[in-house]
Structure 1
Amino acid sequence: MTRTEVLIASAEANSAHNYHPLPVVVATADGAWMTDVEGRRFLDLLAGYSALNFGHRNRRLIDAARAQLERVTLTSRAFHHDRFAEFCAQLAELCGMEMVLPMNTGAEAVESAVKTARKWGYKVKGVLDGMAKIVVASDNFHGRTTTIISFSTDPEARADFGPYTPGFEIVPYGDLTAMREAVTENTVAVLLEPIQGEAGVLVPPAGYLAGVRELTRERNVLFIADEIQSGLGRTGRTFACEHEGVVPDMYVLGKALGGGVVPVSAVVSSAEVLGVFRPGEHGSTFGGNPLACAVAIEVIAMLRSGEFQARSAELGEHLHRELAVLRDTGRVTQVRGRGLWAGIDIAPAYGTGREVSEKLMDRGVLVKDTHGATIRIAPPLVISKEDLDWGLAQLRAVLGV
């Protein structure tokens, strides 16, 4: 057996089978490239589902982490530390908001947003205790905790994990009429992904986000934008909501906020909304820890330059032009996305998403399938045009173009 085969067999024997990874074992990585235990190089066109927007081992982020590792890594929130205020102030400013609630993972941030919205509904809006409702969209992906999968429409994520948490109303994604009908006097929030990532990079109809923003203002309902995958440069803007000139009441952030170094997530909103919390009502031992703050501060500084947003927009235009040509060949049935983010539906005659992903792996390109026929492309924003073109050439070769 090869070393790859030995390590995969050991992993399958000793870990829960809650993932079905491609049969590659990564040992090192740099920028947009990864090298496996056999010494083979692979172009990363997934970027950790946008957690690696700034590439593997980005020097600025590694240096920031290393410097903080030599000082202090964890205090818990029982004490202040000297990176916390700076992190909160800078992230609030980046978002055009006032307050930050730091957590670790994306799912924790979504859970925190749900709790925030409910408490705001009871304390500020005046909804009767226990009656708060949150409207969400079908085909959503906000995480995998029990509460979050309670409002999922994906059978794989939801089945056999009940009983489910009540308090959610599901409407079709992109349907503003259905959204308007679902919002009642007990609705405290609308929770949406501006672009649905796990569903296959689904972009809503033009005007949808702006319409939701208008509706939520009209009905005194919070608009919560889950920008965990779509935010922080992925779509060519700092936030995907910006493509429609929309500013939500609350951002939910994660993935790229930790620079691919440590898990960092946050809920960012106004003082009126996040000000509903009192000591002891919510928390996290690791949330807002010094190491996380140090890395996230550097991420925010990098985003302030606008360089990564501009790069995503420019290379994204090129990516989508190339994919449109591929769609015209009939090998793929649909292409969606914005910036350096695309969902590609493979025509059935040319294989499943998994089969295409495996063939691309054999040619030195790593992507991941979703929902059977779809593959997603989301390279690190630092990828060169030449490397991106090489990766697309491998996709054309796999599809026989």
Structure 2
Amino acid sequence: MPPALPNIPMFSFFKKKPKEEPPVVVAEPAPLSTAPASPAPGTATPAIVTTITAPAPVAEVKPASTEVVAPQAPEPEQKRSWLSRLKAGLAKTSSNLTTLFIGARIDDDLYEELEAALLTSDAGVEATQFLLDGLKKKVKEEKLTDAEQVKAALKVLLLELLTPLQKPLELGRYQPLVMMITGVNGAGKTTTIGKLAKHMQSHQQSVLLAAGDTFRAAAREQLTIWGERNNVTVIAQESGDPAAVAFDAVASARARGTDVVMVDTAGRLPTQLHLMEELKKIKRVIAKGMDGAPQEVLLIIDGNTGQNALAQVKAFDDALQLTGLVITKLDGTAKGGVLAAIAKNRPVPVYFIGIGEQIEDLQPFNAQEFVDALLS
């Protein structure tokens, strides 16, 4: 029997004991639509337009606690619905893999067909070879002769490969927690920010959004709509330096006692070096507004982009030192094998996966559920 895998909780949010830092003393809430905070040194003073969807209260002082705050357990029907939709989204890859084992003989032909299926699913050369070598070793050592036993062994190997990607997003360690959201055009950054804001509010976290995509008016409007839906403040400006918007957002959040700041950035290809340099600038300016920020740098990946997703992870990680990934659009023609490629080549944690447009369609990544959907 294969060794038991570690029982990793699926909970995506929990609070740790906050750092003992001097609290920011605020006599009264910062004005909601007056002059902006000072921009980063060396930058021009931007004309900030603060779109207020609701007053942001000054956060109460939270007592130190080591309690693990678990998210509300989903209703059984909601859980079944999520798992069925995840399975439907990965149906193409699942069909290509599972049909190989129906009445199959354990021989070189099976391994060759499995290799082709893994490569077709965007698992990549390294992960495919890793899984095949491990599978052949298991078949030999455990003397497996039945195709279903071999499929079960493949599930174990795939789960071992993907489990290190499963990591919870920690809340409560910083005040505020500053998150920088990046990705290529069309990956779903702005929509994902709206869904994340809703998730965090369900864990009693106040949220502020920064519209750092100053080049695309539609991005600002879309983020403002999400702000209105979630009843949170959006810091935006019509044009100018996105780093200044991020700086002002962090300063505003510190003054208000906001728990989480999410900074949207303009979509860009990793080959656009001048735009990648601008991302580095935004990160540096955020750090000037708060030591250690941004604590989270997330890359949003379209699950339909195949092996290009791995190239994006490598490029953005080299430039920004990513702390986590969100894989979106795992519905339709998505090929889930790309997570195996990421796990083998650049194992950046996957915080969430998304299978649709609704708020509840973004859920914490759970390796066991994902493998079951692929090889059920």
The TM-score, its normalising length taken from structure 1, stands at 0.32
The TM-score, its normalising length taken from structure 2, stands at 0.33
